[in-house]
């Protein structure tokens, strides 16, 4: 894309300004629904990265806790049910995940991420694809070694100490007793004030790795 591709729209998706021959994506309804339901969000990114989209096509959510960066910065990535492109089906199916996550896979379609600004939303999409690629490759090697529940809780504690913005199972989990979230069965109380016995040195070390992964 180059600047002349950009279209300016209002809060309802109506075109305010656009160069001749250009119009918003047919998926703008999906973007506008995120803005409508998440006041903390200022940017939404939709893409079809190959590894993440492969998981979406296979119907496999990204929920396995296999690396600190994904557990801390990304959390779980569920799959929003399939919807016909350009219709209200996709935003309707995405909506129920918006209060609890900052990224979803779109069944048989692609991926959607959102955050406080454009760069953060873009980095989150990059993180989703990186997570999916590593999960795919580790499965080819016999299956990933997942973190145990205690390790996941320590990583959640680090996230809370870092004060990262967004929605995350470390703070709130809607999927208690289901298989769509690696926090379930651990501590799905919905409390964001859980204390964790985590050293400052460990927090600093993990923070450095997470920031490097996010390109910050």
Domain around 163: 3-213
With a pLDDT cut of 70, the percent of the chain lying above it is 79
Torsion, CA 29, CA 175, CA 203, CA 66, rounded to 10? -90
| Total number of domains in the chain | 1
CATH (domain of 52): 3.40.225.10
In this predicted model, what pLDDT tens digit does every residue of 164-209 receive, in sequence order? Answer: 888 888 876 544 444 445 444 333 333 333 334 455 566 566 666 6
- Greatest alpha-carbon span in the chain: 59
Residue 173: per-residue pLDDT: 52
First to last CA, the chain: 23
Residue 60 in tokens: 């496999």
Confidence of residue 214 (pLDDT cuts 50, 70, 90): low
Mind listing the pLDDT tens digit for each residue in 130-170? 999 999 999 999 999 999 999 999 999 998 888 888 888 88
Q: pTM of the entire structure?
A: 0.78
| Rounded Cα gap, residues 28 and 146, in angstroms | 37
From residue 116, alpha-carbon distances to 44, 85, 125, 159 in Å are 9, 26, 13, 17
Report residue 56 CA to chain centroid gap: 13
| Interval 25-70: pLDDT, tens | 889 999 999 999 999 999 999 999 999 999 999 999 999 999 999 9
């Amino acid at each position: 894309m180059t600047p002349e591709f950009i279209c300016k729209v209002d809060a309802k998706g109506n075109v305010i300004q656009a160069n001749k021959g250009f119009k918003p994506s047919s998926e703008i309804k999906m973007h506008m629904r995120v803005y409508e339901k998440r006041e903390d969000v200022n940017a939404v990114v939709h893409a079809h990265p190959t590894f993440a989209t492969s998981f979406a096509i296979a119907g496999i959510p990204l929920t396995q806790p296999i690396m600190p960066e994904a557990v801390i910065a990304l959390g779980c990535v569920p799959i929003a049910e399939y919807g016909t492109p350009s219709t209200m089906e996709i935003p309707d199916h995405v909506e129920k995940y918006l209060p609890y996550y900052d990224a979803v896979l779109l069944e048989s379609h692609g991926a959607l991420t959102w955050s406080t600004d454009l760069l953060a939303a873009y980095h989150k999409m990059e993180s989703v694809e990186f997570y999916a690629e590593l999960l795919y490759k580790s499965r080819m090697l016999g299956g990933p070694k997942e973190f145990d529940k205690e390790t996941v809780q320590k990583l959640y504690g680090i996230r809370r100490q870092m004060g990262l913005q967004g929605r995350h199972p470390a703070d709130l989990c809607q999927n208690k007793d289901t298989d769509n979230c690696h926090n379930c069965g651990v501590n799905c109380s919905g409390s964001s004030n859980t204390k964790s016995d985590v050293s400052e040195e460990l927090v600093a070390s993990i923070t450095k790795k997470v920031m490097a992964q996010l390109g910050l």
